[in-house]
Amino acid sequence: MNLEAGTASVVGSLHRDLEGRLAIADTKTSTSRRTLALTPTAVTTLRQHRAVQAQQRIAMGPAWQDHDLVFSTGKGTAVAPTDLHRKSFRPLLERSGVRRIRFHDLRHTAATLLLEQGIHPKVVSEMLGHSGVAITLDTYSHVSPALHQGAAAVMEGILNPAKGHRSS
């Protein structure tokens, strides 16, 4: 993570090894390894998070296990997905008044929102780490009707400026 540049890099994935321990492994594909631009709000929040994490590191002293994780337990190790969901994600949803969803649904929500806002599918594909834009377009084809309506409105503006909404 490079908060000065406002980026975070995906360099591995968390999985359970043969003995059931959490471990970081290579990503599924080379395109899964990527650098993402962060929003200013995310950068601010992550800076605050890093400050708390630094205090935890000091408090743990030599017992701290530095794995260079953005999110870790209070001793520096990887957070188990079930703990993340039960202790952090579910309570956050409840406080926010959002219906229960899977953590992975956040990825789909972000992609859908970006596509609906007209972000180029290639950019969304790269953000998701898909190997090609076709995967993104096939997966998020449900967004297509809204995009088609928007395209029709733009075309109306081009062909009939008095009735349509020209975007330029």
Q: What is the mean pLDDT of the chain?
A: 87
User: What CATH number does residue 82 fall under?
Assistant: 1.10.443.10
- Of 51, 69, 99, the position where a domain reaches its end is 99
- pLDDT digits 0-9 by tens, 3-22: 999 999 888 888 888 888 88
Whether residues 77 and 110 share a domain: the answer is no
- pLDDT digits 0-9 by tens, 52-81: 999 999 999 999 998 888 888 888 988 888
- What total number of domains does the chain contain? 2
| 0.85 surpassed by pTM | no
3-class state of residue 112 by DSSP:
helix
For residue 156, give both structure tokens: 């109306």
